[in-house]
Structure 1
């Protein structure tokens, strides 16, 4: 069974998507439609902007979404048996399994990014990568930090977690993680504490936007971040998308469940190969690949 997986924030690079724009008329049309919907030429920032411009949450999230979804759209034989996306990638996955229309999902991604950026500005906060420590130990240390918000935010693969919270809380937790034997406890260059209670204000904004968006019947299950379970019911999918902003990304558990449900090949659709690396660390027997677009002559 084929599982298509879609990356989240951090996979962006300058030049992303330009080959699609240049070689496929369908891709060019979708990119131009995106420029119109967003009200600025995101293609200019994606194709020839600076790393700094591309790093802004309001640019990064729609950029990765566009690269992922447009790449999937031009694939010659796109027939997923199941889909999943890491954080932001869940929106790409929901376009791939026909739950969301491209333009509706892009609007939601843009609104989500702006709401998250606003939440980041309300309270200075950050995230940190923790390597080489048991998941349970990371969770316990986060819970033990007094008077600060700090939580496990991304369960990326065994021994690789990301924590999220107030700057002081994350710094204190990092010191304790190192003392407990972590190989690394590294503060990440992000705008704020994604997937933590500090995103509550963004959650409320996203809930309103989702309420006003049409969700359709899925053609295959989406394994969602908040519970690592397969879903096709649109109401449940909507609820989980909202919860995702303040809940941890259960990527390890999602991949394990997909394997248990028969996934033998994981195809990453979008910029980079981060998710393929994580899948191999979660289950070394799984086959992984990057999505391969047809040659331009065939388009």
Structure 2
């Protein structure tokens, strides 16, 4: 029997036109956006149109993606689609939990809003995407360089490192990399340097009600399937300071027998990562109502 995963992209997949098709072709969109505006204090529709905030700023990016991807989840479910397992990359993990009925839309959006505020306010860190390197040499250099960590293990030939600017720069002098791309972020996300923000977020998380997932979830910090609410909450608590272990997530999907996946959200970032790691898993993009499976 074919097993299907739903995968949800995170920050970096956003673009200004990502609401257009939903607003035109999926009737619940306007009501959902009105509800989101009452929580956020600003309009996702206006943000995507460029009249409010900056869609590429963490404060606006994360809630906007959550709204868009949650609508695509609802549209999939309206058509009777189901998944055998779900996973999300960084911010996308929150949509995965929404898809698995761990929490409702309002709870999820409030968590994402707080997360975005804390991450947007973080400072003093640096993140750099590395492409083309000797993996063993890189991991050895990270292990011996203080104040820098592997933040995103995206596929065997592409990772993101995170830490203090001095530490990140030092590491780059120690390893040969085909390409190093600094990320436009305010802090050292997915590293111990987010500990203060994570502690504040944990107090908010602790007051939220989580339910057992209706399908197995693979979490970023521990990509082993679980449906247990308390385990999911603890793993989510660790996410802000922990690494996104996407390579292991892909292998866990393959081990679970997944042969097809839907990337639910704008862009095709995850499709590329999965293809480079586990090419036997076929990924189809669901970025709009027009691309929903029949």
Verify the 8 A CA contact 1:157 1:278 in the aligned structure 2.
yes
Matches within 5 A, 1:1-299: 1-49=3-51, 53-75=54-76, 76-118=79-121, 120-121=122-123, 124-145=124-145, 148-178=146-176, 182-291=177-286
Hey, what's the Cα distance between the residues in 1 that align with 2:174 and 2:288? 46
Hey, what's the Cα distance between the residues in 2 that align with 1:20 and 1:114? 26
Deviation per CA, 1:219-263: give whole Å up to 9, x if none.
100101001111111111011001111111000101101111111
Tell me, which stretches of 5 or more residues in structure 1 are unaligned? none
Hey, what's the Cα distance between the residues in 1 that align with 2:210 and 2:258? 25
| Closer, same or farther: CA 232–173 of 1 in aligned 2, 3 Å | same
Cα drift, residue 84 of structure 1: 0.0
| Closer, same or farther: CA 149–71 of 1 in aligned 2, 3 Å | same
Cα drift, residue 206 of structure 1: 1.4
Total equivalences in the alignment: 287
Hey, what's the Cα distance between the residues in 2 that align with 1:227 and 1:239? 10
RMSD: 1.7
The secondary structure found in structure 2 opposite 1:59 is helix
Normalising by structure 1, what TM-score? 0.92
| Closer, same or farther: CA 100–135 of 1 in aligned 2, 3 Å | farther
Q: Structure 1 residue runs of 4+, over 6 Å off?
A: none
Cα drift, residue 184 of structure 1: 1.3
Hey, what's the Cα distance between the residues in 1 that align with 2:187 and 2:13? 17
Tell me, which stretches of 5 or more residues in structure 2 are unaligned? none
The secondary structure found in structure 2 opposite 1:239 is helix
Verify the 8 A CA contact 2:131 2:180 in the aligned structure 1.
yes
